[in-house]
Structure 1
Amino acid sequence: MTAAVPDSPGADHRMCSSHDDNGIRKQHGSRLPAVSITLGMLSVASFWLVGLGFLLGVTAVVCGAVATSRSAVADDEAASLRALLGVVAGAAGITVSAIALFPMLAHL
């Protein structure tokens, strides 16, 4: 979703926005790539909590996959790479959680 807002003279340009040739400020598209990376990192960090790292990893992979299918992310190379990094981090979290979970299941 891209919103176009007319540029005002006192506007703060440090926000996450860009300007086109007409001076109209455009908001960047999706937050899903950043959410995917965050969830992927949390899944790797919380692999030792039974099942939580696995669920966070699956959620990171789903968010990254949905983000790559959106046109706003597909058009932006940096956002596309962030979404891919989120998928990879989520897959790493799933793998590490599964490796940690199998020995715990043997003791139950």
Structure 2
Amino acid sequence: MTAAIPRRPLADHSMCSSVDGNEKRKQRGSRLPAVSITLAALSVASFWVVGLGFLLGVGAVVCGAVATSRSTVADDEAASLRALLGVVAGVAGITVSAIALFPMLAQL
């Protein structure tokens, strides 16, 4: 003999409107701080490749600077700090790449 298991009705998402359109927009945010950090990390990691680390560092600084100027990032403290970290790490990638690039250019 099998017992019938009562099933709960599926939740109607239109009835649960705890998240409105503004909160959804805030949750989405901007991806530029994450892109800036990613480019900066790749810049530092690939400093030994001629010119690649330098270009990735410049991209990280540009993405971080654009991200800090956006209002969605400026309102979110964590995103603002991520964008700043991307800028600082991008500058570090540019510096390390330039230090590695100048001796290589002297050999040419």
TM-score by length of 1: 0.79
Q: Where is the strand percentage greater, Structure 1 or Structure 2?
A: 1
Q: How far apart in 1 are the matches of 2:89 and 2:33?
A: 11
Equivalent in the alignment of 2:62: 62
Which residue is equivalent to 2:43? 43
Which AA in structure 1 matches 2:30?
A: S
Higher helix fraction (1 or 2)? 2
Specify the alignment match of 2:19 in structure 1. 23
Q: List runs of 5+ in structure 1 lacking aligned partners.
A: 1-6, 10-20
Which residue number in structure 2 is paired with residue 79 of structure 1? 79
Deviations 1:22-53 (A, max 9, x none): 43251331000000000000000000000000
Q: Percent identity?
A: 84
- The match for 1:16 is none
What is the count of residue pairs matched by the alignment? Answer: 91
Given the two structures, how large is their TM-score scaled by the length of structure 2? 0.79
3-state DSSP class of the match of 1:50?
coil
Task: State the Cα distance separating 1:8 from its structure 2 match.
Answer: 2.4
Match of 1:104 in 2: 104
Aligned to 2:92: 92
CA deviation profile, 1:38-83 (whole Å, cap 9, x unmatched): 0000000000000000000000000000000000000000000000
Q: Distance in 1 between matches of 2:88 and 2:45?
A: 14
Unaligned runs of 5+ in 2: 1-11
Runs of 4+ in 1 over 6 A off after TM superposition: none
